[in-house]
Amino acid sequence: MRLSDSEWKIADCLWKNESMTITELTHELSPDTGWSKNTIITLLKRMIDKGAVTYVQEDRAKRFCPVIDRTEAELEETTSFLDKVYKGNIGLMISNLIGSEQLTEEQLEELRKIIKEG
Protein backbone atom coordinates (compact mmCIF):
# COMPACT_ATOMS: atom_id res chain seq x y z
CA MET A 1 0.00 0.00 0.00
CA ARG A 2 1.47 3.31 -1.08
CA LEU A 3 0.86 6.43 0.98
CA SER A 4 1.19 9.93 -0.40
CA ASP A 5 3.43 12.40 1.43
CA SER A 6 0.36 13.96 3.04
CA GLU A 7 -0.98 10.59 4.13
CA TRP A 8 2.43 9.79 5.66
CA LYS A 9 2.12 12.87 7.88
CA ILE A 10 -1.23 11.67 9.19
CA ALA A 11 -0.02 8.08 9.56
CA ASP A 12 3.03 9.30 11.46
CA CYS A 13 0.81 11.12 13.98
CA LEU A 14 -1.37 8.06 14.38
CA TRP A 15 1.64 5.75 14.82
CA LYS A 16 3.05 8.05 17.51
CA ASN A 17 -0.25 8.45 19.36
CA GLU A 18 -1.99 5.12 18.56
CA SER A 19 -5.29 6.91 17.90
CA MET A 20 -6.49 10.48 17.43
CA THR A 21 -9.65 12.45 16.66
CA ILE A 22 -9.91 14.86 13.74
CA THR A 23 -9.62 17.75 16.19
CA GLU A 24 -6.44 16.29 17.69
CA LEU A 25 -4.95 15.67 14.24
CA THR A 26 -5.81 19.21 13.13
CA HIS A 27 -4.21 20.67 16.26
CA GLU A 28 -1.08 18.54 15.74
CA LEU A 29 -0.65 19.04 11.98
CA SER A 30 -1.96 22.54 11.30
CA PRO A 31 1.06 24.50 12.60
CA ASP A 32 3.46 22.72 10.21
CA THR A 33 1.16 22.03 7.27
CA GLY A 34 -1.46 24.77 7.41
CA TRP A 35 -4.10 22.10 6.80
CA SER A 36 -7.68 22.80 7.75
CA LYS A 37 -10.01 20.30 9.37
CA ASN A 38 -11.59 19.66 5.95
CA THR A 39 -8.22 18.78 4.39
CA ILE A 40 -7.55 16.26 7.15
CA ILE A 41 -11.04 14.78 6.74
CA THR A 42 -10.41 14.35 3.00
CA LEU A 43 -7.05 12.66 3.61
CA LEU A 44 -8.52 10.39 6.28
CA LYS A 45 -11.32 9.33 3.91
CA ARG A 46 -8.73 8.44 1.28
CA MET A 47 -6.75 6.46 3.85
CA ILE A 48 -9.88 4.60 5.00
CA ASP A 49 -10.66 3.72 1.38
CA LYS A 50 -7.10 2.34 1.01
CA GLY A 51 -7.43 0.32 4.20
CA ALA A 52 -4.63 2.24 5.93
CA VAL A 53 -6.80 3.73 8.69
CA THR A 54 -9.93 2.77 10.56
CA TYR A 55 -11.97 4.52 13.21
CA VAL A 56 -14.16 3.92 16.21
CA GLN A 57 -17.16 6.16 16.80
CA GLU A 58 -16.99 7.68 20.26
CA ASP A 59 -19.67 9.95 21.71
CA ARG A 60 -19.46 12.83 19.25
CA ALA A 61 -16.12 12.16 17.59
CA LYS A 62 -14.45 9.47 15.54
CA ARG A 63 -11.17 8.12 16.89
CA PHE A 64 -8.85 7.15 14.04
CA CYS A 65 -6.30 4.35 14.30
CA PRO A 66 -3.65 3.10 11.87
CA VAL A 67 -4.34 -0.30 10.32
CA ILE A 68 -0.97 -0.64 8.67
CA ASP A 69 2.17 -1.32 10.65
CA ARG A 70 4.84 1.39 10.46
CA THR A 71 7.69 -1.05 9.83
CA GLU A 72 5.83 -2.72 6.96
CA ALA A 73 4.94 0.66 5.43
CA GLU A 74 8.55 1.84 5.70
CA LEU A 75 9.82 -1.33 4.03
CA GLU A 76 7.31 -1.07 1.21
CA GLU A 77 8.14 2.61 0.66
CA THR A 78 11.88 1.88 0.70
CA THR A 79 11.51 -0.97 -1.76
CA SER A 80 9.36 1.16 -4.06
CA PHE A 81 11.88 4.02 -3.96
CA LEU A 82 14.81 1.70 -4.56
CA ASP A 83 13.05 0.05 -7.52
CA LYS A 84 11.91 3.35 -9.04
CA VAL A 85 15.13 5.34 -8.71
CA TYR A 86 17.87 2.69 -8.69
CA LYS A 87 16.16 -0.27 -10.39
CA GLY A 88 16.51 -2.22 -7.15
CA ASN A 89 20.28 -1.73 -6.90
CA ILE A 90 21.04 -0.75 -3.30
CA GLY A 91 24.79 -0.67 -4.04
CA LEU A 92 24.21 2.07 -6.61
CA MET A 93 22.15 4.04 -4.12
CA ILE A 94 24.84 3.83 -1.44
CA SER A 95 27.52 4.67 -3.98
CA ASN A 96 25.59 7.77 -5.05
CA LEU A 97 25.11 8.85 -1.44
CA ILE A 98 28.78 8.44 -0.64
CA GLY A 99 29.84 10.10 -3.90
CA SER A 100 27.62 13.10 -3.24
CA GLU A 101 29.65 13.87 -0.12
CA GLN A 102 26.42 14.72 1.70
CA LEU A 103 26.82 12.01 4.33
CA THR A 104 28.41 13.00 7.60
CA GLU A 105 31.25 10.94 9.05
CA GLU A 106 28.78 9.65 11.67
CA GLN A 107 26.40 8.46 8.94
CA LEU A 108 29.25 6.79 7.08
CA GLU A 109 30.33 5.03 10.27
CA GLU A 110 26.74 3.88 10.85
CA LEU A 111 26.65 2.45 7.30
CA ARG A 112 29.93 0.61 7.90
CA LYS A 113 28.56 -0.84 11.12
CA ILE A 114 25.31 -1.97 9.46
CA ILE A 115 27.18 -3.65 6.61
CA LYS A 116 29.64 -5.32 8.99
CA GLU A 117 26.86 -6.67 11.23
CA GLY A 118 24.58 -7.64 8.34
**Distance between CA atoms of residues 84 and 86, nearest Å:** 6
Measure the CA angle with vertex 23, ends 32 and 15; round to 5°. Answer: 70
State if pTM tops 0.75. Answer: yes
Instruction: Kindly tell me if the per-residue pLDDT of 67 is higher than 90.
Output: yes
Collect all residues with Cβ–Cβ distance below 8 Å to 91 and sequence separation of at least 6: none
Considering only CA atoms, which of 49, 23, 18, 55 is closest in space to residue 36? 23
Instruction: Kindly tell me if the per-residue pLDDT of 44 is higher than 90.
Output: yes
**Confidence (pLDDT) at 118:** 73
73: amino acid identity, one letter:
A
* E strand or H helix at 112: helix 105-117
Q: Which DSSP symbol is given to 66? A: E
Domains assigned to the chain: 5-66 (1.10.10.10), 70-117 (1.10.4040)
94 vs 70, residue with greater confidence: 70
